[in-house]
Amino acid sequence: MSLKFGMRTLVLGGQASGKSDVALDLLGSHAGEKLFVATGRARDLAFREQILAHRRSRSAGIDVLEVAAELAASLERERGRWSAILVDSLDFWLFTCRELGVVREQREAFLEVLSHWDEAGSEAHRPADLILVSQETGLGLSPGEAASRAFVRELGGLNRAVAHAADQVTFVAAGLPLHLKGPAF
């Protein structure tokens, strides 16, 4: 459980590392209303099946909001309505922003929202704890294609900026959380 209102937690890991499971456990530890913000869009059958598996693993008591590039605006709108919000994941969100050609403006808007996330609007509108999931880059071979290398660089830069702003950062390997920054949860 968080030590203050508006705690920002980043959960990083490689593909299939268990990062979403760790983040869902953290979300489940919060009392009150919870929101799951889904950024992934099914582009093929295998990914559609992965999304369905994630849906089945979530508690029925968690509301879901699906977003595309408008993550910053959605978070700003939702920040005072929930005890905790989980965004899964920043890498899919960045991919969507790249497809739409809006990386720079959406990244800046997101980082701006993140920078003042813990500021309470009023006693009645305390910000939710925010849990962000992202895939760590650079854990495998360097992509051969220029567009893939550019995405890896953009995601690495985004992860560094979010880690800098976060109160807690956890890296997940083989389903085990390794706490890198802030108090362990």
Question: Mind listing the pLDDT tens digit for each residue in 45-103?
Answer: 666 676 666 666 666 678 889 999 999 999 999 988 999 999 999 999 999 999 999 99
72 domain-assigned: yes
User: What letter does residue 124 receive in the DSSP assignment?
Assistant: T
Strand stretches in 4-101, DSSP E: 8-13, 34-38, 63-66, 84-88
Which residues contact residue 127 at a Cβ distance below 8 angstroms, ignoring those fewer than 6 apart?
A: 5, 6, 79, 80, 117, 118, 119, 120, 121
Average of pLDDT values for 163-172? 97
Catalytic residue among 54, 116, 164, 179: 54
The answer to whether residue 64 sits within a structural domain is yes
Please indicate whether residue 179 is annotated as part of the active site. no
Task: Give the mean pLDDT of 24-35.
Answer: 93
pLDDT score recorded for residue 2: 40
Which CATH number covers residue 63?
3.40.50.300
- Give pLDDT tens digits for 4-19: 678 999 999 998 999 9
**Token code pair at residue 138:** 């650079």
d(CA 174, CA 185): 18
Interatomic CA distance for residues 70 and 2, integer angstroms: 26
Average the pLDDT over each of 55-69, 106-120, 146-160 and give the range with the smallest value. Answer: 55-69
Instruction: Give the DSSP H or E segment for 22.
Output: helix 19-28
**In the structure, what pLDDT confidence band is assigned to residue 41 with cuts at 50, 70 and 90?**
confident
Average pLDDT over residues 22-34: 93
90 domain-assigned: yes
Residue 147: which domain range? 8-181
Q: Domain for residue 30, yes or no?
A: yes
**Structure tokens given for 97:** 């922003």
**Backbone angles phi and psi of 116, in degrees to 5:** -115, 20
pLDDT of residue 121: 59
Residue at 2 is within a domain: no
Average pLDDT over residues 122-133: 78
Mean pLDDT in residue range 122-151: 84
Number of domains in the chain: 1
Q: Is residue 169 part of a domain?
A: yes
Question: Nearest 5°: phi and psi at 69?
Answer: -80, -15
Residue range 104-118: mean pLDDT, rounded: 96
pLDDT at position 3 over 60: no
